[in-house]
A and B are shown apart, each in its own frame.
Chain A
Amino acid sequence: DAGVTQSPTHLIKTRGQQVTLRCSPKSGHDTVSWYQQALGQGPQFIFQYYEEEERQRGNFPDRFSGHQFPNYSSELNVNALLLGDSALYLCASSFAGGNYGYTFGSGTRLTVV
């Protein structure tokens, strides 16, 4: 049974560009959350998607947007990249919220130069 799958694993972008990260949730999970983990820090909540809608959002600017598809997979889009957006982006899936804990993917390492 596949867990959470994220692509790509590594990405290098130039400041000002746009990036799209992808996530396939664990089988049976319907909720996808995105987290940003800067080097040496704990993950920071970006937003959560459920039933193809953004259910909750953390303290991130509108440059960060997302989407959830009918098959529960999700995309994270970041526009106008800044150097400070360099981080590990983690996707986590769960069933009907995260009360029982998320299952995390291995993440996408984004480097902005």
Chain B
Amino acid sequence: AQSVTQLGSHVSVSEGALVLLRCNYSSSVPPYLFWYVQYPNQGLQLLLKYTSAATLVKGINGFEAEFKKSETSFHLTKPSAHMSDAAEYFCAVSNTGNQFYFGTGTSLTVIP
């Protein structure tokens, strides 16, 4: 069975501070892992994806994530938060690339 756990449903950071959003996954085989961002009243936008190449994955808007098999984690980070980063972030896992399992999301607030 596959599942994703996102620790912290709400995260607040000051503008310019480090952003760290946590994601742990459960998968019986090497997974595909993704981070998506959702702005209010919009669909999901792909931030980055891990597909068994480099363990450190760089995405759009300065975000990156590191795949750690030993910890079954795929945490999302950004060195310096910007006001425009305020949104809902979802981690997703898939074994086959067909059915994705999403976490319940983390709402990021950026404080000026």
Contacts and interface: CB of A to CB of B under 8 A. Distances in A.
A44 B100 CA distance: 8
Contact of A97 (B4, B97, B102): B97
A4 B43 contact: yes
Interface in A67-113: 90, 92, 94, 97-107
| Secondary structure class of chain A's binding surface, majority of residues | loop
B101 A41 contact: no
B31 to A, nearest CB: 11
Nearest to A47: B99
Contacts, number: 68
A102 B102 contact: no
Interface residues of A, number: 27
A42 B49 contact: no
Nearest to B90: A42
B101 A45 contact: yes
B46 interface: yes
B99 A56 contact: yes
B101 A99 contact: no
B5 to A, nearest CB: 11
Contact of A106 (B43, B46, B97): B43
Interface in B37-59: 41-46, 49, 51
Interface of A: 4, 33, 35, 40-45, 48, 55-56, 58, 90, 92, 94, 97-107
5 contacts: A40-B104, A42-B102, A92-B44, A100-B97, A102-B46
